[in-house]
Structure 1
């Protein structure tokens, strides 16, 4: 059985970073190399514990999730104005899901510190561009105001996150801002898109790699899943409040500093 402390560490890293624009996958790859947790089983573990983080979103957004499938209270049912629906979510997730399906084996080859560093830097630059070049007039101040066109633009931006280190939430929030949404609306849409796309990605990865798992791995995976869920529950609740106030630029600076530390480590020590 693998050391449980590694499951706890990776679970904490995943829960803290999944919904911050800093790349949870990149952080898990870097952490895995530092604690010597690498290989096919490690990659499968990292995908599976993302389900814990996604479950936290389901818990926090359960009313919106029910509304998307047509279950809502009377007050919401007759609310005037635009309404977000399942088609928005489908449009948003389809580009990345199709690309990931056809390029899955190639994407796995990018799971290494060197490629993560590149993703951190380019993703940070993309976020800064979104802050500086986004439209002056916000067309979608809230989640419910997002249009199909904006959903497609956000979905296209999400394809960038298939490169580890780029960050799914960073790509989609920046993409939303460039398309005319507020940071908060783009973040909300990002959280909702994460539910189907991460369930699909985790399920597909488990199906392809179930032969790598043994009975002794159940506790290891369960610990990582639970830790990821609890930490993500706290992180998402905090991030919802922070995203309306903090510019993506601050997260970009953090990414640059992290990339610099990793480059220095690679030069001096190597992985």
Structure 2
């Protein structure tokens, strides 16, 4: 086992875990460290690397499931309501989540090949980073008043659907799924924390579905020799996603979106300087 290769995949897992659910664009960050991938000569060939991306993303998804386990138990109607019921919660229904997923899910299926072929470039990611940052700043300015919806349990179907339509913007690489959906939630009257909760809950089925399809497409390139690297990447993504999600949920109502928007603009500047 090559230690340098192992270190690279651990770093990529850390980057994925820290950035997947924060509104800063994991794609933008992956571009910065992608040279590590391209320099890989042993196991992370082009196709194995595609499978690896799916594996580490699944680590991030698992972290969300762990953080919101009581919510998912309630949504699936399994067992008692647990902590959610004890806190007087549990009014969020699975149908709210489905309604929020429909717009991006439909567009994603219709335009998946076009997005993969034409939009995954450094230039398009730069555009997504900047425009997404502008949306986040607008969301904070427009909603400086007290939000009507303090918890995700108060969300309406209309709000869920509107957030779903705004989530479609995240199909543009670099825009950030969480950046789009949290901004959308805030714009329709949710508190930042309620919008973040709904965003993370929606992320699990849509990311799991996309990852599952991608994994099946690249399954033939799975290599037993690369298994230690997949495991290392998965674990690092899971651990750091767990840390990132818990920290972000405690922070978001205090700092809101503008600091993250500023960070995105700085990141776009760094990418521009490095690649152009």
* TM exceeding 0.5: yes
- Residue 53 of structure 1 corresponds to which residue in structure 2? 60
- Distance in 2 (alpha carbons) for counterparts of 1:19 and 1:128: 18
| SS at structure 2 position matched to 1:245 | helix
- Distance in 2 (alpha carbons) for counterparts of 1:48 and 1:198: 12
> After the TM superposition, which of the residue ranges 165-174 and 30-39 deviates more from structure 2?
30-39
- Residue 165 of structure 1 corresponds to which residue in structure 2? 174
Correspondent of 2:28 among 14, 19, 26: 26
Q: Tell me how far 1:141 sits from its aligned partner.
A: 1.0
- Distance in 2 (alpha carbons) for counterparts of 1:237 and 1:74: 19
Instruction: Give the 3 Å change call, closer, same or farther, for CA 212–147 of structure 1 in structure 2.
Output: same
- Distance in 2 (alpha carbons) for counterparts of 1:44 and 1:58: 21
- Distance in 2 (alpha carbons) for counterparts of 1:139 and 1:90: 22
Deviations 1:53-108 (A, max 9, x none): 11111111111111111233489669879811000110111211111112111221
Residue 8 of structure 2 contacts residue 36 of structure 2 at CA under 8 Å; is this kept in 1?
no
Residue 28 of structure 1 contacts residue 46 of structure 1 at CA under 8 Å; is this kept in 2?
no
Correspondent of 2:203 among 194, 198, 219: 194
- Residue 11 of structure 2 corresponds to which residue in structure 1? 9
Instruction: Give the 3 Å change call, closer, same or farther, for CA 125–78 of structure 1 in structure 2.
Output: closer
> After the TM superposition, which of the residue ranges 93-102 and 34-43 deviates more from structure 2?
34-43
Instruction: Give the 3 Å change call, closer, same or farther, for CA 34–215 of structure 1 in structure 2.
Output: closer
Q: TM-score, normalised by structure 1?
A: 0.91
- Residue 130 of structure 1 corresponds to which residue in structure 2? 139
- Distance in 1 (alpha carbons) for counterparts of 2:85 and 2:242: 28
> After the TM superposition, which of the residue ranges 211-220 and 186-195 deviates more from structure 2?
211-220
Instruction: Give the 3 Å change call, closer, same or farther, for CA 120–70 of structure 1 in structure 2.
Output: same
Correspondent of 1:120 among 110, 122, 129: 129
- Residue 105 of structure 1 corresponds to which residue in structure 2? 113
- Distance in 1 (alpha carbons) for counterparts of 2:139 and 2:249: 19
- In structure 1, stretches of 5+ residues that fail to align are none
2:90 counterpart of 1:85 = no
Instruction: Give the 3 Å change call, closer, same or farther, for CA 214–82 of structure 1 in structure 2.
Output: closer
| SS at structure 2 position matched to 1:49 | helix
- Residue 154 of structure 1 corresponds to which residue in structure 2? 163
- Distance in 1 (alpha carbons) for counterparts of 2:81 and 2:173: 40
| SS at structure 2 position matched to 1:176 | helix
Deviations 1:233-270 (A, max 9, x none): 11111111001111211111111111111111123xxx
- Distance in 1 (alpha carbons) for counterparts of 2:89 and 2:241: 32
- Distance in 2 (alpha carbons) for counterparts of 1:33 and 1:203: 26
CA RMSD of aligned residues (A): 2.2
- Distance in 1 (alpha carbons) for counterparts of 2:23 and 2:83: 34
Q: TM-score, normalised by structure 2?
A: 0.89
- Distance in 2 (alpha carbons) for counterparts of 1:236 and 1:75: 18
2:220 counterpart of 1:211 = yes
Q: Tell me how far 1:213 sits from its aligned partner.
A: 2.3
2:104 counterpart of 1:96 = yes
Aligned length: 267
Task: Trace 1:224-235 onto structure 2 (pairs within 5 A).
Answer: 224-235=233-244
| SS at structure 2 position matched to 1:254 | helix
| SS at structure 1 position matched to 2:38 | coil
Residue 30 of structure 1 contacts residue 113 of structure 1 at CA under 8 Å; is this kept in 2?
no
- In structure 2, stretches of 5+ residues that fail to align are 40-44
